[in-house]
Amino acid sequence: MNVHDSERLAGLLEQAGYRRSAPETQPDVVVFNTCAVRENADNRLYGSLGNLLPAKKAHPGMQIAVGGCLAQKDKDVILARAPWVDVVFGTHNIGSLPVLLERARIQHEAQVEIKEALETFPSNLPTRRESAYAAWVSISVGCNNTCTFCIVPALRGRETDRRPGQILAEIRALVAEGVQEVTLLGQNVNAYGVEFSDRQAFAKLLRACGEIDGLERVRFTSPHPKDFTDDVIAAMAETSNVMPQLHMPLQSGSDTILRAMRRSYRSERYLGIIDKVRAAMPEAAITTDIIVGFPGETESDFQATLDVVEAARFAAAFTFQYSIRPGTPAATMDAQVPKAMVQERYDRLVDLVGEIAWQENLKQVGQQVEVMFADGEGRKDAQTHRLSGRARDNRLVHVLVPEEPQARPRPGDIADVIITYAAPHHLNADAGLLALHRTRGGDAWQSSRSAPARPAIDLGIPTVGAPGTLQLAQTCPGH
């Protein structure tokens, strides 16, 4: 969701006349799009703001803006801790950024504007996509759940749904531009339709995506187990371009802890969903989120989580140590778990998840899979003469490719390969390409490369260098 919002912010600023700063240059404007899910997001933001202070002093015209969930939460606290910030804006008014920057410049004072309700759906704003062949499509914003550890509903508000026609029109427009993979986004994506009272709306949307010519792959994130219904499973299994992949947060395998978290399902229900998904799509890869050390978690509670992980056979898991978020009910709960105990449990969980992921990946060796190649997936691609991408089930695959330019796939192209090696977090295919499919997505990538060069946006923490114009940073750790 934050990456999607960052692309919208970039589009807004470019439409307002800003141009992107070149790499290794000092921009005139730095924008932080923040997350508030975990405490380290706070630490990273304020540390990065401190690092920018010398550059701000050396270049008085430089502007710094902070937006997103942390800005929505902290509001004036940001200026109290970093008074050199020029603009603070929240989750509901990202479209206001260009105006706020101009107002701060003219009035020579910081602008803080936080709205308590969504002004316009982010997808109605201009965008500057980072990929020519894949795109994020937001179908809803906000969440109606009340999980005791989560601050997102307080910062993003109650769920607001786009109408199906608007979503499908956006996807068709993206496909016309060369996009062949879309990821449907929502804080609780499979609750889609609650605002217009259609409990089957998400399944219908998946099936409608299957009717769009040229759309090769459809993914979605993140669903909630309580809203995961049989019609969604059927739509996934029966719609050829909906990928056999499911990321469904577990959070805990202990029913006691799930109750304390106010998660309205229990471990048996969760595992039952997985069984149904695998019965309909035996090839599906299932991933999850797990929190370790929630207040009151005992050793038996943690063992229950390990038991569910064993039973679920996750292809991967995003594992987190519980982080106190002020303003959430869990922050004031008794029996906060000591840090050393949380770390010890976390290490055991990571080891188990890695071992199971490796065992599951080993089953892929010798199998033929379809890979869509992508920019930036393999950090060592240049040294290893590989190009990396994602299988249909979203597993990362590093593929040995020919050196001849005319025989090499481009990002966005699709190839059939045989898996020759498995590690816990990736697969290798070193037996060559069985079949290479040149795609419209690959054509779009090639066209974007031949277009007039424009420096790429930096979605990391800004660096300090010589003057430039615009840099966008994202401080979301993922969750």
pLDDT value of position 69 = 86
On whether residue 165 sits in a domain, the answer given is yes
pLDDT value of position 405 = 86
Same domain, 215 and 319: no
pLDDT value of position 458 = 37
Same domain, 310 and 376: no
Same domain, 136 and 197: yes
Residues 6+ apart with CB under 8 A from 270: 225, 248, 250, 308, 312
Write out the two tokens for 225. Answer: 């187990």
pLDDT digits 0-9 by tens, 276-323: 999 999 999 999 999 999 999 999 999 999 999 999 999 999 999 998
Peptide bond into 222 cis (omega under 30): yes
On whether residue 450 sits in a domain, the answer given is no
On whether residue 446 sits in a domain, the answer given is no
Domain boundary at 177, 208, 243, which? 243
pLDDT value of position 476 = 45
pLDDT value of position 464 = 33
User: Measuring CA to CA, how many Å separate 441 from each of 71, 131, 404, 409, 454?
Assistant: 36, 9, 20, 11, 20
pLDDT value of position 452 = 57
Same domain, 108 and 167: no
Same domain, 239 and 257: no
Same domain, 306 and 380: no
Domain boundary at 201, 216, 243, which? 243
How many structural domains is the chain composed of? 4
Same domain, 64 and 95: yes
pLDDT value of position 462 = 38
Same domain, 347 and 279: yes
Residues 6+ apart with CB under 8 A from 167: 137, 139, 184, 205
On whether residue 344 sits in a domain, the answer given is yes
Q: What is the CATH number of the domain that holds 301?
A: 3.30.750.200
On whether residue 444 sits in a domain, the answer given is no
Q: What is the DSSP code string of 351-381?
A: HHHHHHHHHHHHTTTT-EEEEEE-TTS-TTH
- Residue 188 CA to residue 319 CA, distance in Å, equals 19
Q: What is the DSSP code string of 299-329?
A: HHHHHHHHHHHHHHT-SEEEEEE----TTSG
- Cβ atoms of residues 27 and 468 within 8 Å: yes
Unique residue bearing structure tokens 């990362």: 396
- What are φ and ψ of residue 477, in 5° steps? -80, -5
On whether residue 47 sits in a domain, the answer given is yes
pLDDT value of position 379 = 82
Domain boundary at 363, 398, 426, which? 363
Q: What is the CATH number of the domain that holds 98?
A: 3.40.50
Q: What is the CATH number of the domain that holds 213?
A: 3.30.750.210
Same domain, 115 and 6: yes
Same domain, 375 and 350: no
Residues 6+ apart with CB under 8 A from 292: 302, 305, 319, 320, 321, 322, 342, 345, 346, 349
Residues 6+ apart with CB under 8 A from 366: 418, 419
% pLDDT > 90, the chain: 69
pLDDT value of position 39 = 67
On whether residue 479 sits in a domain, the answer given is no
On whether residue 448 sits in a domain, the answer given is no
Q: What is the CATH number of the domain that holds 423?
A: 2.40.50
pLDDT value of position 449 = 83
- Residue 14 CA to residue 427 CA, distance in Å, equals 38
- Residue ranges in the chain modelled with pLDDT below 50: 453-479
pLDDT digits 0-9 by tens, 175-198: 999 999 999 999 899 999 999 999
Same domain, 402 and 469: no
Enclosing domain of residue 51: 2-119+456-474
Same domain, 398 and 422: yes
